[in-house]
Copies of this chain bind each other. A is one copy, B any other.
Amino acid sequence: MVTADRTPTYGYLGPEATFTEAAALRMPAVAGARLVPCATVHAAFTAVRAGDLAGAVVPLENSVEGSVNATLDELIRGEPLYVTAEVLLPVTFTLLVRPGTDLADIRRIVTHPVAEAQCRTWIAAKLPEATVDLGSSTAAAAEAVAARKPGPHGEPYDAAIAAPLAGERYGLEAVATDIGEDSDALTRFVLVTPPRTPGMPTGSDKSSLVAYIRDDHPGALLEILEQFATRGVNLSRIESRPTGNGMGRYCFAIDVEGHVADARVGEAMMGLRRICANVRFLGSYPRADGVHPPVRPGTSNADFRDAAAWLDELRG
């Protein structure tokens, strides 16, 4: 959406000051835009589809928890949307306090249940006397600490477990960082926009699509994978999702290495289109990890061009 002052507005899965907002702030495409939190992935995508938002940043998968089904299903069903960018963010929990509070002074902590579960070991070891209350989000916990809101016990909280961003936002200080268990856990966030021609290939690209099997038959998934393998296209992820049309009926959400403008990716996608009941393209975009994977011999754009020239000559 372009507002009167021409600044586009993007949404993100709220509330404010959580990891998703942090991800949005890292996306070059969103730089300088107005950012608004959305209550649910569905609300965010509905606003994008309606043209009320230029795009939305949402979590797509986590290296521990797996796919965020709400995001995946919203992409699979409804009006087509594209993934335009991705960001990988470590999920690092920070213990935030009002300036002046020492670690030794902490008695009452508040946070979101997921964060509590991740940080339980650390709390037990370092603050065995402290109690932890649960709130609706890590950002709300930080806000409660900053505002000295009293808990059910009538006293304000001493500390919140939250994303580093929440500290900056609410004027809190970190007395301990990276206190979660899966300290190398990553979450993949994506920027979702209305469909538009993908940007130029960078050599370090990913493409996403959904393949719906024609007549559910044994070997259907094998056939799909062979379409990619024959053209030297590597899959980086495959996820089956129910189509909603009965138990045992699935579609496959697939991420591949390469860009729709790459000859090998394009030919594989056409192959999929021919053997599948339907293929929904979800966009090509630069890889967050910046890896330039080697192209298998015989599958570069130049190899495809040479072969096409050879065939043209044979055909006369």
A147 interfacial by beta-carbon distance below 8 Å: no
**Chain B residues, Cβ within 8 Å of A197:** 315-316
Tell me the bound Cα distance from A311 to B264 in angstroms. 12
Please determine whether A311 and B69 come into contact, CB atoms closer than 8 angstroms. Answer: no
Q: Which residue of B lies closest to A182 (CB)?
A: B244
**CB proximity of A217 to chain B, nearest CB, Å:** 9
Chain A count of residues within 8 A CB distance of the other chain: 68
Select A235's contact among B61, B221, B269, beta carbons within 8 Å: B221
The copy count of this chain in the complex is 4
| Measured CA separation A95–B17 after assembly (Å) | 41
The one of B184, B186, B235, B242 in contact with A218, judged by C-beta atoms closer than 8 angstroms, is B235
Q: Is the CB of B230 within 8 A of A315?
A: no
Q: Does A237 contact B (CB under 8 A)?
A: yes
User: A267: which B residues are within 8 A, CB to CB?
Assistant: 267
Q: How far is the CA of A157 from the CA of B245 in the complex (A)?
A: 34
A168 within 8 A of B: no
**A314 engages B274 (CB within 8 Å):** no
Cβ-neighbour of A242 out of B63, B241, B244 (below 8 A):
B63
Judge if A227 is at the interface, Cβ distance under 8 Å.
yes
With A and B bound together, what is the CA distance between A186 and B243 in angstroms? 12
Say yes or no: A260 contacts B226, CB within 8 Å.
Answer: no
The chain B residue sitting closest to A188, CB to CB, is B247
* Known A66-B240, A214-B297, A270-B304; 15 more pairs at CB < 8 Å: A62-B242, A65-B69, A66-B73, A69-B69, A218-B229, A219-B229, A221-B238, A222-B222, A222-B229, A230-B271, A236-B248, A238-B240, A270-B310, A273-B307, A273-B311
5 cross-chain pairs, A with B, having the tightest CB-CB distances, nearest first: A197-B316, A218-B234, A270-B307, A274-B298, A230-B230
